[in-house]
């Protein structure tokens, strides 16, 4: 089954996802559907709420290794790193943001094993972004007030013009 990616304004993106209690065949199939939607977009990461499923699960692939993490939490974070962050649910916008440079993430894998991942720079940013999705938080809430005004205006303009593929970069201010 193919899923559409939900975009800004859809209430599912603003709600907190539930913990996964049983890692069963349904969860495995969900993870496959999420990877499929992510590659089709294409994107580097995708959280379940982005396809309308309120469960604590996200997928990513930044180096050719598709990975699924379940019930994730950030155990430690440190440093600062500036990066142009984008989101499949806010298509067209890339916003320069500061967040911690390194994070240590704990989660379950698809076999139910507890795993920890030390992440730096791009992967650390991806983890923080996907965890935000699982908590109903979108990039707009991480921007400065000035960036948010500009981002809202630009997003509205891009979506009203129907110009798919158009992108807008918003620098740190």
Shortest CB 87 distance to Zn ion, Å: 3
Contacts 24+ apart (CB under 8 A), 113-117: 115/69, 116/75, 117/69
Q: List the one residue from 5, 69, 87, 143 that touches Zn ion (CB under 5 A).
A: 87
Among 91, 9, 6, residue whose Cα is nearest residue 42: 91
Give the residue at shortest CB distance from Zn ion.
87
d(CA 160, CA 151): 14
Q: Which residues pair with 56 in a beta bridge?
A: none
> Using CB under 5 A, which of the segments 72-80, 83-91, 100-108, 148-156 binds Zn ion?
83-91
> Using CB under 5 A, which of the segments 30-38, 86-94, 103-111, 147-155 binds Zn ion?
86-94
For residue 42, is the peptide bond before it cis, meaning its omega torsion is within 30 degrees of 0? yes
Catalytic residue among 130, 154, 160, 166: 130
> Using CB under 5 A, which of the segments 65-73, 82-90, 93-101, 104-112 binds Zn ion?
82-90
- The SS3 call for residue 84 is strand
Shortest CB 94 distance to Zn ion, Å: 12
Residue 80 is a catalytic residue: no
Supply φ then ψ for residue 146, to 5 degrees: -65, -40
Among 52, 42, 66, 46, residue whose Cα is nearest residue 3: 52
Shortest CB 24 distance to Zn ion, Å: 26
Query: Judged by CB, which is closer to Zn ion: 23, or 38?
Result: 38
Positions in the binding site for Zn ion (CB under 5 A): 87
* Residues identified as active-site: 130
């Amino acid at each position: 089954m193919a899923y559409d990616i939900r975009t800004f304004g859809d209430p599912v993106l603003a709600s907190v996802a539930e913990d996964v209690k049983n890692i069963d065949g349904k969860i495995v199939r969900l993870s496959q559907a999420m990877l499929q939607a992510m590659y089709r977009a294409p994107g580097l990461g995708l959280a379940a709420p982005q396809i309308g499923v309120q469960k604590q699960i996200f997928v990513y692939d930044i180096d050719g290794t598709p990975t699924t993490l379940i019930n994730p939490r950030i155990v430690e974070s440190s440093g600062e790193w500036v990066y142009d962050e984008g989101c499949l649910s806010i298509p067209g916008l890339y916003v320069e943001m500061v967040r911690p440079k390194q994070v240590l993430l704990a989660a379950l894998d698809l076999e139910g094993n507890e795993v920890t991942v030390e992440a730096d720079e791009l992967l650390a940013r991806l983890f923080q972004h996907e965890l935000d999705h699982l908590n109903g938080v979108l990039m707009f809430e991480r921007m400065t007030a000035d960036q948010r005004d500009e981002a809202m205006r630009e997003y509205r303009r891009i979506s009203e013009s129907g110009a798919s593929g158009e992108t807008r970069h918003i620098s740190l201010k």
